[in-house]
A and B are shown apart, each in its own frame.
Chain A
Amino acid sequence: MKGGRIGTRVLLVVVLLWTVVPLAWMLISSFKPSDKLTASPPSLAFTPTLEHYRSLFGGANDIGGYIQNSLLAAGLSTIIAVALGCLAGYGLARSKFRGKDHLSFWIISTRMAPIAAVILPLFVIFRGAGLLGSTSGLVVAYLTFNLPFAIWIMNAFFADLPPSLEEAAMVDGASRWTAFRRIALPLVLPGIATTAVLCLVFSWNDYAFASTFSGPDSQTLPIAASQLVTQTEIDWGQLTAIGTIVVAPMIVVGLVVRRWLVTGLTLGAVTGE
């Protein structure tokens, strides 16, 4: 028994090291002076500096604009997806009709379509519609995966809610819309938050769509990161700094809704705590 406990601890340490070391190394490297970054062998003896962060904000390649584009594209597509997803998710959860299975299947298969296969027709359509290089183009592109996701997840959250609560309100004279707005919606707030966080994470982290569709006026943070890689050299100081900036907020918001993540990420197939 004792041996088992010690074994468990050792294994846990190994798992934690495997998970955390790359992230910690990125964070540490972002404070390393440039000459120490490419030193061989890698070392931890250095005086921390903010030079990489400073050169990201200000200087020739300021990332302020990229952050703004990222927030705008990811934020807008999240808001639209969650709003429409709440309505449709509720409608789907509360209705019974022939062909509902087919409708569900269509929604889920839209979410599962390989990104490379979606980019192709969208690129040609966007080119024809003049949406290439614009933030609105990115918002539309992100809706292709965020909207079906939001509908499906909100459907799962609403379906977990017994309809009797809304029925009771309606007996008391509330309209369907009021019952939805005042009874059902507040009760699925955790679900809404989870859906919003996951939509935000998916679109904030996107690289494939942004690298194909965005232009100088709409490039997002992941694009800024990949642009630091050039034929001749890679500025690892700036790259680890920008990596930290891209990753940190998503880890924070992701862990905030951790309790409901399982429901969200399994599309409602498994419920968490």
Chain B
Amino acid sequence: MATTTVDERPREASAPRAKRKESRYSFEARMMTPALLVLALLSIFPFVYLILMSLSAVGLIGGISLDFVGLDNWTRLFTDSAVGASWLRSVVYFILTVGLEMGLGIAIALLVHELVWGKNIALSLILMPMFMAPVIVGLLGRFLTDSTYGLYAWVLRETGLYSGDILGTTTAAFLAVTLMDVWQWTPLIALIVLAGLASVPGQILEAAKVDGATYLQRLRHIVLPTIAGVIIVALLIRSMDAIRYFDIITNTTNGGPADATKIVPIRLYETGFRFFDLGYAAAIGLSMLAVSILLANVFLRILKRRGLAR
């Protein structure tokens, strides 16, 4: 790398501005080239391939074969009520997980922000679940909710809240996988919002306090408006990742019981790798991709509006 890029002449730095701009461009372009080439290979090629797959019947026996079937997979996608049900479930799962994570995350951030003593230790402890492999979160969740020896199942039974088989009952299983996701990702929201809280002007808060504004009034009229941008960033970051992952469900209910937790990525994976209906899975995948590209677009717009896109 070094040998190919060190060919700028030192005197260039003092060259006229226009000339410097021009040579700058080429230096930057050369810096970006290796990464962009790799990224293009890793993204454009699979993307085009995914589109081709969605228009084909994909065979894996005796080498790979793509037999063009036109829009068959797509017409099937839009008439498949099972996939429709998965989308609906995904939307509910998404709203529940992301909604709870946002609400709890903001609350936890406000709580930790108030701390005078032990703030760092508290935050470190709160952040821990975020670094866990989702597989382990799922498997640990299974252990905790086992109806005979699970700690949480036992607590629920003893307190009279719930005594059934948690992961074996449709509604309970859905809530359980939701809460596992909430447990893992609420810390992320808390972390981001906490960073935003640092920018709330202290003097204004003090002044409001002196004037007799209650905590809730200060929250509503000073704190929340100041951190609104940060909250939206947190929401978008979390939303994009919420669509990406499905490890927790794979390792707990794997879509069951009775399809209760079969969100779109689980169905996609099953269609592709259990039934090997790869063409149809590709169509489902592209529809998911469309949603995430839409979200990325919104994210970038907000970044730009905040003057942060560079």
Contacts and interface: CB of A to CB of B under 8 A. Distances in A.
Interface of A: 4, 8, 11-12, 15-16, 18-23, 25-26, 29, 37-42, 84-85, 87-88, 90-95, 97, 101, 103-110, 112-125, 127-128, 140, 143-144, 147-148, 151, 155-156, 159, 167, 170-171, 173-178, 180-181, 201, 204-208, 211-212, 221-222, 225-226, 229, 234, 236, 239-240, 243, 246-247, 250-251, 253-255, 258, 261-262, 265-273
B251 A207 contact: yes
Given A104-B300, A222-B136, A40 B191 contact: no
Contact of B46 (A87, A125, A205, A222): A125
Contacts of B12: 170, 175-176
B157 to A, nearest CB: 9
The 6 A-B residue pairs with the shortest CB-CB distance in the complex, in nearest-first order: A91-B31, A117-B285, A88-B35, A170-B13, A205-B133, A95-B28
Contact of A236 (B143, B154, B243): B143
A186 B243 CA distance: 36
Interface stretch (B37-45, B70-78, B166-174, B218-226): B37-45
Contacts of A109: 292-293, 296-297
Contact of A19 (B27, B150, B187, B306): B187
B281 interface: yes
Interface residues of B, number: 116
6 contacts: A84-B34, A112-B240, A177-B5, A222-B136, A229-B139, A239-B139
A226 B135 contact: yes
Nearest to A168: B13
Nearest to A150: B35
A36 to B, nearest CB: 9
Contacts of B203: none
Contacts of A176: 5, 8, 12, 24, 27
A220 B183 CA distance: 24
A211 B131 CA distance: 20
A26 B270 CA distance: 30
B31 A16 contact: no
Contact of A38 (B43, B130, B149, B296): B149
Contact of A247 (B133, B149, B295): B133
User: Interface of chain B, helix or strand or loop or mixed?
Assistant: helix
Interface string B171-198: 0000000000001000110011001101
Given A42-B151, A117-B288, A226-B139, 18 more contacts: A4-B215, A18-B183, A22-B144, A90-B28, A94-B28, A119-B272, A148-B43, A176-B8, A176-B12, A176-B27, A178-B6, A207-B134, A225-B135, A229-B251, A247-B133, A254-B130, A261-B191, A265-B191
A64 to B, nearest CB: 18
Contacts of A140: 42
Contacts of A26: 136, 140, 143
Contact of B308 (A94, A95, A269): A269
A269 B233 CA distance: 7
A266 B135 CA distance: 23
Nearest to B27: A176
Nearest to A159: B310
Nearest to B281: A120
Contacts of A269: 233, 237, 299, 302-303, 306, 308
B154 A41 contact: yes
B293 A262 contact: no
A82 to B, nearest CB: 11
Nearest to B32: A91
A226 B144 CA distance: 16
A116 B187 contact: no
B64 A243 contact: no
Contact of B125 (A20, A173, A201): A20
B282 A121 contact: yes
Given A117-B50, A143-B38, A92 B215 contact: no
B126 interface: yes
Contact of A266 (B31, B46, B233): B233
Contacts of B43: 106, 110, 113, 144, 148
A151 B50 contact: no
A208 to B, nearest CB: 6
A124 B278 contact: yes
B230 A246 contact: no
A243 B132 CA distance: 9
B195 A273 contact: yes
B265 A115 contact: yes
B93 interface: no
A156 B310 CA distance: 7
B142 to A, nearest CB: 8
Residue among B30, B31, B244 with max Cβ neighbours from chain A (10 Å): B31
Contacts of B244: 112-115
Contacts of B240: 112
A25 B244 CA distance: 28
A121 B292 contact: no
A124 B245 contact: no
Given A144-B43, A240-B143, A265-B191, A120 B28 contact: no
Residue among A25, A38, A124 with max Cβ neighbours from chain B (10 Å): A124
A85 B143 CA distance: 39
A151 B282 contact: no
